[in-house]
Structures are given as C-alpha cells and as structure tokens.
Chain A
C-alpha cells in the first residue's frame, strides 16, 4: 500500500508530493466495514429502540416547570452546522470523487468550497467564543471516567442505564475536537495552497515555499482530507441511527423534548432555564 507519494524534483531530489490514494480507499473501506459490523452488532443486541426511545408524556416530577421543548441549538448554530456540512461535503466530493474515477473540473469548486468553509469556521469560532457557552464543549480530567462510560454507551457497548451527560455528551465532545483539529489542519494547509491556484485576485506561484515544505503541506492536507472521510462517515452514520435521531432532530428543529433532556442529560451539568 502506498502511504506517501514521492517524486524526484527538477534537481533529482526525492520530495514528498502527497499522500498515497490507497489511504483514501483504506479509510473508505474501513468506514464501510465499521458501519456494517456496527449495524450487525447493534441488530444482534436489539438495543437500538431500547436505548434511544423515550416514552414522551411521562413528565418527571422534577421537571414539571421545564418547557416541553428544551432549546439545544440556536438558529445561528444550526445554520452554521448545515452550512459547514454543505461546504464540507463539497470539499470531500470535489477532492475525492475525481480520484475515485469520476472526473470533472474540481479545482475551482474545491477552493470556493474551501473559502466558504473558512468563513463558516471563522463565524463559528467568533460565535462560540462570544455568544455560546464555550465550556459546554470542553471536558477536563475529572470528566474522563464518566466520559468513557458515555462513549461505550454511545457505541452501543455499555451495559445498564447510560450515564447522563452535560449538554454535549462525551462522544460529541471528542468528535468535535477531532473534527476541529483535522479541519483546522486542512484549512491551514488549504489556505496556503491557495497561492498555487489561479483566482481572480492573484496568479498562482508554486515557489512561495520550498518544494520539500510544500510536500509536507500536501501530505498534511491529504491526511486531514482522508481523516475527514472517516470522521464524517461515522458522524452521518450515527446521526441516522434510530437511537440517536432525537439528537439529529435537534440540529434541525433546535430543541429536544423535555423527556429526552431528562432521560439523557444531567440537569446539574446542563442547566436549563426554567
């Protein structure tokens, strides 16, 4: 399997030119295998409904003053999420579909999608720092034991009642940071790579960095790209799993039902205004 692609530069020095496309296939195949195995595993345990479904209407005494719809995502957050996902899909499709064999003029679409992604991410960072509870997505060492337990349940492997999480379950937090790291790597390298693309604003110049440095930039961009295939495949898969749909709906409607709140969240850790 080719992990890194190298080539002799014009002076015959062996330089990196990018990741091996075998890696893309490795990630795609791994993701598919994971999903198939996970579906089978969950099916065999018959856990889907049991974990996810909460019988609505059984108002908990503690929560009698809770609104029926607990607001989870503001409109701004949801808009960000979906816009970002559109750009992300745009980027992944324009990056990898041509490699897979369906060829089209992808470069312009790719960089435009990249610019759009950068805009959404900048918006998200500003928004989360200024207007959101930044720490809700954060976790500390003391959260880890419970986090691990949450993770097990999220994957359908836990036993007993799932532990109750804060606003963002541990698996979401983990995912967010993994995705953020990888996306930032892709963005930083991608923005650099923009000087090698003709745009209406400048003419490309391949010599801003040395070809060895460019090789690294390409490799990081490539690794980030294939990692995103895996991350997003997992994300989408879990989002459409029946036991997670209540969360998925919240990203569309903005709220979760009071019962879901009570069933899955620890009111101490996610304090909802009553």
Chain B
C-alpha cells in the first residue's frame, strides 16, 4: 500500500499545476512521501521540473 499511495501521490502532485517551488516543498513535507523519504529527498529539482512538464502538459488525464 505504500507503493500504491506513493505513486498516486507523486502523479497527482506532478500533474497539479503548482509552481516548481511548491512542488519541491510538498515533496519534502507531505507525509505520503515518507515511505520512500530517502529516495524522494534525492530527487534533482531539474528532473522534477521535467517530470512536471511530462505529467502536466503531455499526459492524458483520466476522464
């Protein structure tokens, strides 16, 4: 359930349209990412920005 919760929360956040700094802050503070805290804390901000673009601009949302 950690894996499911983590992936759902990550996709939701990346597709949220929040600013880059808000997304980075959320990754640091949201308890839904605590199950993989060490992994998430190593995310590179440049790559998070790319992921936001991929999930936010190019992905197809569920209807």
- Does A pair with B? no
Residues on B facing A (Cβ under 8 Å): none
